[in-house]
């Protein structure tokens, strides 16, 4: 059965984006980008909220034609286009690029998706992750901690009443100082 894997890059002080949704502080060099391509290329689907979907859809469908795109960026553009996507949104009317719009996180539907999908399900977006956590639907967390303090922004984990215990199963330090902290959710 597939796992739901919450994947986010965050600043050392816990933010996934800065003010005005800024992510220009992300340190994604060839080593980190190659790692993301290898990991995300095995996923059976990408799950996100509307904000994350809009951010991705604003660039990746045409990234291969960007003259400044590196080979790793072109490779990821194809991964993003080819991988089925589910966007959870009550406001998005339609989506393109192999994307299904779902209005609400329904636990039984997510469990069914896990049962029928080859490859794990990559979840991104802190708002939708809060809902997944509340329903006990996250199996693994992969936090990519970037060596920067941005001071304010959107936290990786939104405030909630849910306490989730995690077990550390992997750490990896990349050459540019980004650190992967990989956890399984303890029951």
pLDDT per residue, tens digit, the chain (187 aa), is 999 999 999 999 999 998 888 888 999 999 999 999 999 999 999 999 998 899 888 889 898 899 999 999 999 999 999 999 999 999 988 888 999 999 999 999 999 999 999 999 999 999 999 999 999 999 999 999 999 999 999 999 988 887 899 999 999 999 999 999 999 998 6
Look at the chain and report how many structural domains it folds into. 1
Does residue 103 belong to any structural domain of this protein? Answer: yes
- Asked whether residue 184 is domain-assigned, the answer is no
Count of residues in the chain: 187
The domain of 160 spans 4-179
187 part of a folded domain = no
What CATH number should be reported for the domain holding residue 115? 3.40.430.10
Say what the pLDDT of residue 187 is: 67
- Return phi, psi of residue 38, to 5°: -65, -45
Strands 166-173 and 85-88: unpaired
pLDDT of residue 103: 95
Concatenated DSSP letters of 27-94: ---HHHHHHHHHHHTT-SEEEEEHHHHHHHHTTGGGGGG-TT--HHHHHHHHHHHHS-EEEE-SS---
* pTM, to two decimals: 0.94
**Nearest-angstrom CA–CA distance, 73 and 78:** 9
């Amino acid at each position: 059965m597939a796992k739901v894997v919450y994947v986010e890059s965050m600043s050392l002080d816990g933010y996934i984006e800065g003010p005005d949704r800024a992510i220009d502080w992300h340190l994604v060099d060839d080593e980190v980008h190659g790692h993301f391509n290898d990991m995300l290329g095995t996923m059976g689907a990408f799950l996100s909220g509307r904000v994350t979907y809009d951010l991705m859809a604003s660039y990746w469908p045409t990234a291969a034609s960007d003259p400044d795109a590196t080979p790793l960026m072109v490779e990821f553009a194809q991964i993003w286009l080819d991988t089925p996507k589910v966007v959870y949104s009550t406001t998005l009317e339609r989506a393109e690029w192999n994307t299904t719009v779902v209005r609400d996180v329904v636990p039984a539907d997510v469990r069914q998706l896990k049962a029928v999908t080859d490859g794990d399900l990559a979840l991104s977006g802190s708002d939708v992750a809060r809902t997944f956590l509340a329903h006990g639907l996250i199996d693994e967390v992969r936090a990519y901690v970037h060596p920067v303090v941005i001071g304010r922004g959107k936290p990786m984990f939104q405030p909630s009443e849910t306490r989730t215990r995690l077990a550390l199963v992997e750490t990896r330090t990349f050459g540019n100082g980004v650190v992967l902290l990989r956890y399984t959710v303890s029951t």
